[in-house]
Amino acid sequence: TGSLLGPIYHKSLSSADSLSSRQTVDSDTGNGNGVRASIVPPVYWDDGGSEKIMVAFTDSGDDLLYSVVVTDDGAPEARKVISDNTVAVSPAGTGSKQTVANLANDSSVVYAHYANRADLDIYRDKASNDGGWGGPDVEEIDGATCHWIRGNVFTHSSGNGGSTVVGYTYDNGSAGKTGYIFYNEFVIRAPALDSQAAYLSGASAGTPASDSSTAYLVGQSVGSDNKAAYIGGESISSISQSAFMSGEAATISSQSTYLAGQSTMTDNRSAYMAGVAASASGQSAYLAGEAGALDSASVYMAVIAAGVVSGRAAYMSGENTASGSQPSYLAGTSVATSSKSLYINAEAGATDSMSVYMTGIATLASQKSAYASGEALAQSNVPAYLKGQSSTSNSQALYLRGQSSSSNTMPAYMAAKDTASGNIAGYMFGVAIAIG
């Protein structure tokens, strides 16, 4: 620049040691207050392979701070205004002789700090990839008396917090003397995500977190991890050990599978189904719904299943038939047979080598005693009692209740209009006949 009000030029030196011809950046610069450097030290960044250089300066007419960008040694772009306020340039009574401003960049984001001419407080603004300066400017230090300012972008060590900042020093009212130099910093971003744990809180525009040990996601992001994955939202996560699903998605795991919804899953150890699905397992199968399950050890059926057969016990809940080698229970209108005990609840007939119990309208005969409850005829070889209008013959005793006749070697009881005979006893409940 000229000594007071000179223009700003630029040239470039190539790798072939060739100096380009100069181009004018701006001509309306400087200040009449003995300023020697209205230009602020430039900054550089790479924009996808294009080299960009930005320089800032004050305008001699309005004393505002402006910026100009040159790309790849091309023609300078149109200047853009940085400051909302007039900028201090070599404040009176000082030896500053310069524009009291600073540029520092974090890649393509450029931060400008300057001293307001009115009160010498420090203000800040920023631009992204030369897209224009935002506003309004932010007062960063109130009550300052800034005569010059210089700074840069750097990242603190992890021991000092790890933050990336614009750190700067400034003269706070020394009037060109010594002993008034201060330091301040503006934090650009907090420490980077940790290599072991990443936490995301909310539904912000932050990058989803992935981590080699643990990943936690709270919001609408997706996290994947090789050990554990937790998801809260509408995403799907798969993992080699455990998979937890909250929503309508499906997950398959080699060890445990949990399904909450209407999905189907298969697992080599246990399978749990909550919904209307079917599941099969080598050990246990549980069905909650209208499906069927088979299991080599236990079978449980809840609702309206078709039928279950088991090597030990068979339980039937409904109108089906069950048969088993030890006990069999039937609740319905079916028939069951067993080698030891037989229970029937219906209108069927049953035969058993030991005991037969009939509840209904069936006939029963026993080797020991026979009881008849109804209008039956009983005959016995010990005493005989006649209740009714029938005739009875017996060597010892005869009991008649009804209009029937019966014969038996010991006692006979009849409860109906039929005849029961047995070696020892016959039991009749209803109008049927049973012989045992």
Rounded to an integer, what distance in angstroms lies between the CA atom of residue 202 and that of residue 191? 18
Reported as a single tens digit per residue, the pLDDT across 179-216 is 689 999 999 999 865 544 445 544 333 444 443 333 34
Helix (H, G, I), strand (E, B) or coil at 306: coil
Please name every residue paired with 70 in a beta bridge, in sequence order, or none if there are none.
53
Comparing CA positions, the residue from 34, 110, 98 lying closest to residue 69 is 110
Q: Is the peptide bond before 136 cis (omega within 30 degrees of 0)?
A: yes
The set of residues, in sequence order, having a beta carbon less than 8 Å from that of 157 and lying 6+ positions away, is none
pLDDT in tens, 407-418: 444 444 443 334
All residues at 6 or more sequence positions from 172 whose CB lies less than 8 Å from its CB, including other chains:
144, 145, 146, 147, 180, 181, 182
In whole numbers, what is the pLDDT of the chain averaged over residues? 61
The reported pTM is 0.46
Specify the pLDDT at position 151. 97
Residues 258-287: tens digit of each pLDDT: 443 333 344 433 344 433 344 444 334 454
CA distances from 405 to 195, 323, 402, 409, 423 (A): 97, 37, 9, 14, 17
| Residue labelled with tokens 């037989």 | 342
The C-alpha torsion from 264 through 268 and 269 to 275, rounded to 10°, is 10
**pLDDT one-digit tens code per residue, 227-260:** 333 433 333 333 333 333 333 333 343 333 444 3
Most confident of 4-8, 10-14, 326-330, 431-435: 10-14
Total residue length of the chain? 436
What are the structure tokens assigned to 200, written together?
């995301």
Nearest to 255 by CA among 228, 215, 286: 228
Q: Is 403 left (phi over 0), alpha (psi -120 to 50) or beta?
A: alpha
- Report the 3 state secondary structure along 79-109: CEECCCCCECECCCCCCCCEECEEEEEECCE
* Pairwise CA distance, residues 166 & 55, whole Å: 17
Q: Are the C-beta atoms of residues 47 and 108 closer than 8 Å to each other?
A: yes
Domain ranges of the chain: 8-189, 197-229, 307-360, 361-429
Lowest-pLDDT range of 111-115, 224-228, 339-343: 224-228
The predicted structure's pLDDT at residue 168:
98
